[in-house]
Amino acid sequence: MIVVIQRVSEASVKIGEKVKAEIGTGLMILVGIEESDNQEDIAWLSKKILNLRIFPDENEVMNKSLLDINGEILLISQFTLHASTKKGNRPSYIKAARPDIAIPLYEQMIQTLEADLGKAIGTGEFGADMKVALVNDGPVTILIDSKNRM
């Protein structure tokens, strides 16, 4: 699993003209799921995401986690994170999981983040054409691949 984490002061996702979800201070997370991902990847990423010390403390040093600030999450599925651009100019998405594998894993990721965070999170809709808006705070953007833990 690959996640792109952005520290935000606000974020939202629209499907058509309807706002599906919106958050205030917290993390907007794009998640790309591949065929080999499993519950272990989800559990590891959830703990890592919630405990990343990327929010400012009273001295403006990035020393607080999402849990410390009682922040929010907006989680958006994005298969294009697994794009391969090695050959030609048209990206290949061969590593991205098919919907029959990706949808259950995306739903498990939502459930795990909500359980670990202790509250509901905002989400997009798997496979939908979404418009994501955010105010990147910092800016702070972090990429984590669950296959590269060491």
Supply the residues annotated as catalytic: 80
10 Å CB burial of residue 42 (0-12, 13-18, 19+) is buried
Can you read off the two tokens belonging to residue 137? Answer: 């705070």
Residue 5 in contact with residue 141, Cβ under 8 Å? yes
Residues 6+ apart with CB under 8 A from 105: 1, 33, 37, 38, 42, 97
SS percent in the chain: helix, strand, coil, step 5: 25, 40, 35
Stated as kind and residue range, the H or E segment containing 10 is strand 2-15
Please give the Cα distance from 109 to 49 (Å, whole number).
12
Q: What are the start-end ranges of the H helices in the chain?
A: 39-51, 66-69, 99-117
